[in-house]
């Protein structure tokens, strides 16, 4: 499993790096322990970043990691809330990328997970929030019950997206319960 996870994360990072310019703005919808936020911060030297997580511990972990790596915290907004609303994002800020690394906070209580309803609501809002040429990057984990339900719900959402507005790529390793990377790019 660790090899699949690392491959998914590396692939996600490669896609983000290809998509983003240093002045773009991004949302880490599930900042967890901050590793994805750190990668994004190193890519977005002048852009803004919004880091969401429902767990205060995740926000603290991310803040600490970014501070340890001397990231300019003035360009980062930490939001201890569900990614479901994105209400803290000003309308005038063009968002190029929204990332989701679903599941639970590594090293924490595994009973606290992302949930299919709030995740699907967030994805719907995110698709409207990103600019043309922007993308959503969603890593799912079907190795636990809620993660399996969440992935099925996301696949159902994908079936109903307007294919003239979005290009969808799904990277699924051929192993049961392996992580899955979903890449949705907005064309119009």
Q: How far apart are CA 172 and CA 180, in angstroms?
A: 5
Query: Contact 66/94 with Cβ under 8 angstroms?
Result: no
> What is the spatial order of strands in the sheet that 26-28 belongs to?
76-80, 49-53, 26-28, 95-101, 130-140, 180-186, 166-172
Q: DSSP string of 157-173?
A: HHHTS-TTTEEEEEEE-
Whether residue 27 has pLDDT greater than 80: yes
Instruction: Provide the whole-model pTM.
Output: 0.91
Task: Count Cβ atoms below 10 Å from residue 6 Cβ, excluding itself.
Answer: 11
How confident is the model over 34-63, as pLDDT tens digits? 999 999 999 998 999 999 998 899 999 999
Report which of residues 187 and 86 the model is more confident about. Answer: 187
Report which of residues 50 and 92 the model is more confident about. Answer: 50
Query: Contact 148/142 with Cβ under 8 angstroms?
Result: yes
> Which pLDDT belongs to residue 100?
93
Least confident residue range of 78-92, 108-122, 156-170: 108-122
> Which pLDDT belongs to residue 1?
41
Domains and CATH numbers, the chain: 2-186 (3.40.50.150)
Q: How far apart are CA 95 and CA 88, in angstroms?
A: 13
Confidence of residue 108 (pLDDT cuts 50, 70, 90): low
């Amino acid at each position: 499993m660790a090899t699949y996870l690392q491959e998914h994360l590396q692939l996600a990072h490669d896609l983000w790096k290809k998509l983003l310019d240093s002045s773009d703005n991004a949302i880490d919808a599930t900042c967890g322990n901050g590793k994805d936020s750190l990668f994004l911060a190193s890519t977005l030297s002048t852009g803004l970043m919004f880091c969401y997580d429902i767990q205060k511990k995740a926000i603290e972990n991310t803040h600490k990691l970014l501070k340890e790596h001397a990231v300019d915290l003035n360009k980062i907004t930490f939001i201890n809330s569900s990614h479901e609303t994105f209400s803290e994002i000003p309308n005038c800020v063009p968002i190029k990328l929204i990332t989701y690394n679903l599941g639970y906070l590594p090293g924490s209580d595994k009973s606290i997970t992302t949930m299919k309803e709030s995740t699907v609501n967030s994805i719907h809002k995110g698709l409207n929030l990103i600019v043309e040429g922007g993308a959503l990057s969603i890593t799912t984990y079907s190795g636990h019950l809620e993660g399996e339900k969440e992935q099925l719900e996301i696949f159902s959402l994908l079936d109903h997206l307007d294919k003239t507005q979005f290009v969808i790529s799904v990277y699924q390793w051929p192993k049961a319960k392996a992580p899955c990377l979903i890449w949705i790019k907005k064309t119009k």
